[in-house]
């Protein structure tokens, strides 16, 4: 084997070895940034299926159905706007929306279907911020 071929093979082998070491170093740095955990612990709302929601709240344009429901903590809730009106889904109290920020979904256009994750136990009221008479309550145990 000529000296040129040996040199070329040596360079290729060195590039492969150093490239592998560099990739391992980047992966180790990413794990350190994530606290040593390479998986994402926050729920992926896009990955849940329709039947994965513990409750479905449907806005009809005349209010919420059901307007009272009970679910387990650490569950998904689905909110559907099946009206021809804009819905502004927010937590109580009306105008402040501070009781449970997870409920503050904002504007849902007609036909919108949104899911959110409930991680706090309690009895939580919600409302349509565009119509104070449209309210509901979710009990999380």
Mean pLDDT by 10 residues, the chain (141 residues): 70 61 49 42 50 92 96 96 97 89 95 95 96 96 95
User: pTM here?
Assistant: 0.65
In sequence order, what are the residues at sequence separation of 6 or more whose Cβ sits closer than 8 angstroms to the Cβ of residue 116? 45, 76, 77, 79, 102, 103, 105
What is residue 1's three-state secondary structure?
coil
Instruction: In whole angstroms, give the CA distance from residue 76 to residue 119.
Output: 9
* Cross-strand pairs, 36: none
Instruction: In whole angstroms, give the CA distance from residue 9 to residue 17.
Output: 12
Instruction: In whole angstroms, give the CA distance from residue 74 to residue 121.
Output: 9
Q: pLDDT at position 6, please? A: 75
Q: pLDDT at position 37, please? A: 42
DSSP annotation string for 90-137:
EESSTTT--S-GGG--EEE-TT-EEEEEE-S-EEEEEEETTEEEEEEE
Side-by-side strand order, sheet with 75-81 = 64-65, 55-59, 75-81, 113-118
Domain ranges in the chain are 1-41, 50-140
Q: pLDDT at position 97, please? A: 84
State which CATH number among 2.60.40.420, 1.20.970.10, 2.60.40.10, 3.30.70.250 fits the domain covering 50-140: 2.60.40.420
Q: pLDDT at position 110, please? A: 98
């Amino acid at each position: 084997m000529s000296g040129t071929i040996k040199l070329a093979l040596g360079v290729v082998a060195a590039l492969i070895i150093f490239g592998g070491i560099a990739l391992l170093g980047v992966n180790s740095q990413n794990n350190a940034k994530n606290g040593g955990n390479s998986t994402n612990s926050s729920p992926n709302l896009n990955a849940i299926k329709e039947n994965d929601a513990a409750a479905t709240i449907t806005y009809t344009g005349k209010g919420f159905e059901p307007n009272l429901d009970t679910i387990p903590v650490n569950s998904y809730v689905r909110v559907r706007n099946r009206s021809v009106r804009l819905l502004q889904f927010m937590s109580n109290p009306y105008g402040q929306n501070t009781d449970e920020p997870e409920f503050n979904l904002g504007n849902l256009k007609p036909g919108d279907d949104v899911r959110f994750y409930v991680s706090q136990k309690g009895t939580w009221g919600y409302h349509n911020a565009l119509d104070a008479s449209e309210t509901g309550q979710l009990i999380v145990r």
